[in-house]
Structures are given as C-alpha cells and as structure tokens.
Amino acid sequence: MKIALAQLNPTVGDVAGNTQLVIDAIGTARERGADLLVTPEMALLGYPPRDLLFREGVVEEAEAAVGEVARAAGDMTVVVGHPRRCVETVRTIRNSASVCRAGDVLAVYDKRLLPGYDIFDEDRYFDPGKTSCYVDVSDRKVGILICEDLWRAGDVHTDRQYRVDPAAELVEAGCDVIVALNASPFILGKNQRHVELMREQATKLQCPIVVVNQVGANDDLIFEGRSTAVLPDGKASIVLPAWQPAIDVLNLDASASVTMPKVVPQEELFQALVLGVRDYCNKTNHKQVLVGLSGGIDSALTATIATAALGGENVLGITMPSRYSSPGSVEDSRTLATNLGLVRCDEISIEPAHQTLIQSLEQKLSEHISGLPDENLQARLRGVIVMAYSNALGALVLATGNKSELAVGYATLYGDMCGALAVLGDVVKTKVFEVAHWINREYQLCGFACPPIPENTLSKPPSAELRPDQIDQDSLPPYDVLDRIIDHYIDREQSVETIIQETGYETELVERFTRLIDRSEYKREQAAVVLKVSQRSFGRGRSMPIVMR
C-alpha cells in the first residue's frame, strides 16, 4: 500500500486556488502509484479561517469543492480537509475530512477534539464530531484523525485534558494504519515533541501513524510542514522537508527507517521568520517591504530576514538620523544595505522637523520639551517618514521591535511600532543576538555572499539613541535578566513570588518589570501583527485585559 503525503501551502479563503493545489497533488500521487492521498487539515479553505467561516457562502463553497476533488480522484482514495455545514447541532459547522474516490464521497470524519487554548479557538466555530471513521484501502483499514485528535494537547503546555483517545479507539476498531490531517503552527521545539508523541503512540498501539502537516504562513501563524510517518517500532519511515510544499509517497510494504534531520534552533527561527515574511507579502500581494534602519541589531536582523525572504531588490532601507545619532550608526546602516544588496537606502534627517516641532510645542506648552516627550517625538517623526514612504511607494513597512521591548513597553506607540508585520515581535533580545551571530557564521547557508550584519552592530551596546550617550541598560536590566523574567511571567504564566523563588532575583526588580509588562498591554493591543514562534506570543493567543490590577 502506497500513501501519498501532500504537504500543501493553502491561502485562507482561496477555495479555487486551494482546490487546484489538491487536484495537482492527485496527479502527482497518481504518477507515483499511490493508493491513498492525504492532505492537511482544512486544505480546501486554509487554516486558520477564523471568522471567515461566518461569511455567507464560504462553507458551502468549500463543500462544493469536495465534489471537484472526488471527480479528480479517479480510482485513488483521497482524504481532504474542509469545513462542512451541519444541522441540529449546537454550532452549525464542523472541521471535517472527506474520503473521496471515483467521483463519490465514501465517508466524512468530523474532528472530535477541538482546541480552545493559545491561538486556537476551534470550539468557538466548530461542533465536535461524535464517532470514529475508517475506510478500506488496498485491503487495509485506514483510520482518520484530524490534528488535536492525535496530539490531545500533549504537544503544548496547557492544563487541558481529554476524556477520549480517538487513536486508541481506531486501533480497537481494527485499523491497520492511522492518518492524521494537520495544520499545526510552528513553535520552537514543537516538532521534536510531535515526533516523540508519534513514537509513543505508534509503539503503544502497534500501528503506523502518518501525519500530514500544512506548510506556509497565514497571518501571524507559521506552518513548517515536516510531515512524518512513524512505524510500530517507533522509527520514522518518511520525513518531508520543512518550510516548503512537498509530496512524497510512503510504501507501507517496503518501508525503511530514516534519520530525523538535525535541528539547529537558530536556523529554525531564521527559516520560520523568512517564511512568515515571504508568505505574508505574497498572500497580500505586496512586492516590496520597507525597513527603518537605525544601525542597531533589531533593524539589521529584520532587514536581513526580509532580504532572505524577498531578495534585496525588494527591500527598501531608510535611515533617519537625529541630533543624537552617532556617525557609526548611520555608517552601519549603509554597510548593512550594501551587504544585503538593498534596492535603495535613503537618508532623511529628522533634525529640521524635530526643531520645528520642539519650538511649536514649547511655545504652546510654555515649558521646555525634554526627556520622554522629546524621545517619543523623535520616534514618531520616524514613524511619519516610513509611513509616508509606504504610501508613496506601496512598500509594506516591517516593524523592527523585539519581544523584550514589546513586553515592557520599551517602544513608542505610533513611532518605532509602526508597521504591518512585527517580524521579531516574538523573539526576545538574547535570541535576536543568537540568530544574528548564527547568520553571520552561516551566511552562505542563508544565501548571502558575505556576513551581512556589520560587526559593530553586533558588538556595540544596544541603544535607542534618543538622548545623549543613551544605552538600553539605562532603563532596563541586562537583557539576559529581563528575558528570563519574561520567560517565567509570560511563557510560563508564573506568579511574582514563584519567579523570585526560582530566579533569585530581587523582589523590587521582579515586581517592577512584571508590572511594566501588565501596564504595556494597551500598546500591544495596537501593535503590528506578530509572527508567532514561541509558546506564548503577543497577539491572538494571549488575550489579557488592558484595565486590571
């Protein structure tokens, strides 16, 4: 028996385009002699569809597309993911997989376990399925699951517990193999946990498990692909590549174990963010992006990722020095632009506008403008310039702030927070440096002709350069300390008392910066879309009150 794994990159809402991806995959699988083809979860509509499911006609269009897939299937069995309309249920939509062959739909499986944690809100949209589903293919009984039905929240940190085990029920029903349709978003380290869970299940149930995962990025979510099959001995027999669409065929009767690819965290993070930027632009029809270059590490890494995603000919840089900017920062920006081959790197001083606004404000407010008002004024002037460039040239602005800054509000609303996409918004500062150093070491692997990020950018103390001799550590603790507090307070949801106990940090330090994290929620509510790469990212998956004590 040959099973084709179709690792596809659908666009949410593009039912016609997604259907064609499936039909093309059917043709490829047929050429390779496959008996069964499996697509990712919700392949015909794209995942996550969110409230698009409520728009009139959307679910019905996806259901109609199932008929097209069935007609294209021929004598092959195709399992395709889609939403479907239900009657006499609490919610009127289900997350489903249809089994198609020879123009007919032989069976329909409805996802039973609906995640309602982190970025998932499937229990908002879908009614849960009630029964198992399996189909006979080439004298094998193939059981069907959809994503959470297999993982049962075992791949994430959550207190959710399910009373049923759909995989075990399929084996009890006599299934010889289990296929699982997935749209599982990327998180650093999550794939390793997935493989461990597959090995545990396959050996415990003594049944091959085949997982087909979506690839690509939709909004804030990135999907790595890496579709995998594990045999009853716990060994992987097929692993599709990460970060790209692919189709491969598993022969269950002649399968051999394969070595799992080595995972380098910095490379994973780089590739994920590159894919996130590329697909965000491709799927919103933006050809070029714009990055404000400060000479600092965050803007340098953002521009480097954007160049890897789109090519330097599609990345515009602009440096906007003030009276406090060092000549070295401007030079570092120019060097970066040259190393990356950016299509342009313009320089516009904010000093004339800064002087004019200071004079106007001091005249009306009858007081000297300095300190935080002056610093934010400079940041907002830069925001005005990058947005004006965006309007004039049609380039999408990438926000450059990192997770450490967003956490404690060390960013200016309507200033350096301007942009459509926060590329590093889920990457703490210590990881920013780790990835930047890795790129410079492995520049050829990343597609660059030389180490792109200037050494001075990597070695100088981080600074916003909004006042004389300013460095970040004037206002913040060392980043390794701050990032550890962020990990405990945000990613682990620990209390102040537990953080103090586990880290040994001073009470005043922990209280001050956890308080800043909470007080900055209003800024994050207005921030650009953050590409998610960690367990707990800012955005849809972390819904916190703004007004709270």
List pLDDT tens digits, range 397-410: 999 999 999 999 99
Residue 453: other Cβ atoms inside 10 A: 24
Residues 315 and 204 in one domain: no
Q: Are 376 and 255 in contact (CB under 8 A)?
A: no
Report percent pLDDT > 70 for the chain.
99
Which pLDDT band holds residue 157 (cuts at 50, 70, 90)?
A: confident
Q: What is the pLDDT of residue 327?
A: 81
Asked, for residue 432, whether it belongs to a domain, the answer is yes
CA dist 133 and 108 (Å) reads 7
Domain end point (choices 222, 254, 286): 254
Residues 235 and 302 in one domain: no
CA dist 17 and 11 (Å) reads 8
Residue 130: other Cβ atoms inside 10 A: 8
The answer to which of 73-77, 210-214, 341-345, 543-547 has the lowest mean pLDDT is 543-547
Nearest to 483 by CA among 497, 469, 499: 499
Q: Which of 149-163, 364-378, 470-484 has the highest mean pLDDT?
A: 364-378
Residues 274 and 248 in one domain: no
Mean pLDDT estimate for the chain: 94
What are the two backbone dihedrals, phi and then psi, of residue 443, each rounded to the nearest 5 degrees?
Answer: -60, -35
Residues 467 and 354 in one domain: yes
CA dist 99 and 271 (Å) reads 34
Nearest to 184 by CA among 231, 207, 218, 161: 218
* Domain CATH for 369: 3.40.50.620
Residues 314 and 384 in one domain: yes
Residues 280 and 248 in one domain: no
Which pLDDT band holds residue 313 (cuts at 50, 70, 90)?
A: very high
Asked, for residue 215, whether it belongs to a domain, the answer is yes
Say whether pLDDT at 471 is over 80: no
Residues 250 and 156 in one domain: yes
What are the two backbone dihedrals, phi and then psi, of residue 449, each rounded to the nearest 5 degrees?
Answer: -85, -20
Q: What is the pLDDT of residue 203?
A: 96
Which pLDDT band holds residue 367 (cuts at 50, 70, 90)?
A: confident
Residues 408 and 308 in one domain: yes
Look at the alpha carbons of 233, 235, 238, 241 in this order and tell me if their dihedral is positive or negative.
positive
Asked, for residue 535, whether it belongs to a domain, the answer is no
Residues 287 and 183 in one domain: no
Q: Where are the beta strands (DSSP E) in 39-196?
A: 77-85, 93-101, 104-110, 134-137, 140-146, 177-182
Say whether pLDDT at 464 is over 80: no
Asked, for residue 124, whether it belongs to a domain, the answer is yes
Q: Residues 419-450: pLDDT tens digits?
A: 999 999 999 999 999 999 999 999 999 999 99
CA dist 38 and 145 (Å) reads 11
Q: What is the pLDDT of residue 470?
A: 65
Asked, for residue 273, whether it belongs to a domain, the answer is yes
Q: What is the pLDDT of residue 1?
A: 93
Q: What mean pLDDT is predicted for residues 178-206?
A: 96
Asked, for residue 501, whether it belongs to a domain, the answer is no
Name the domain count of the chain. Answer: 2
Q: What is the pLDDT of residue 467?
A: 67
Q: What is the pLDDT of residue 161?
A: 82
**Which residues carry out catalysis?**
41, 111, 147
Q: What is the pLDDT of residue 465?
A: 67
Q: What mean pLDDT is predicted for residues 483-500?
A: 96
* Domain CATH for 74: 3.60.110.10
Q: What mean pLDDT is predicted for residues 374-402?
A: 96
Which pLDDT band holds residue 260 (cuts at 50, 70, 90)?
A: confident
Residues 6+ apart with CB under 8 A from 380: 412, 414, 415
Which domain covers residue 296, as residue numbers? 268-472+520-530
Quote the radius of gyration of the chain (alpha carbons, Å): 25
Q: What is the pLDDT of residue 184?
A: 96
Residues 192 and 151 in one domain: yes
Domain end point (choices 254, 277, 297): 254
Residues 328 and 460 in one domain: yes
Residue with tokens 């800024």: 523
Q: What is the pLDDT of residue 369?
A: 87
Asked, for residue 544, whether it belongs to a domain, the answer is no
Domain end point (choices 200, 225, 254): 254
Calculate the CA 502 to chain-centre distance: 30
Residues 334 and 429 in one domain: yes
Which pLDDT band holds residue 89 (cuts at 50, 70, 90)?
A: confident
Q: What mean pLDDT is predicted for residues 482-489?
A: 96
Which pLDDT band holds residue 147 (cuts at 50, 70, 90)?
A: very high
Asked, for residue 489, whether it belongs to a domain, the answer is no
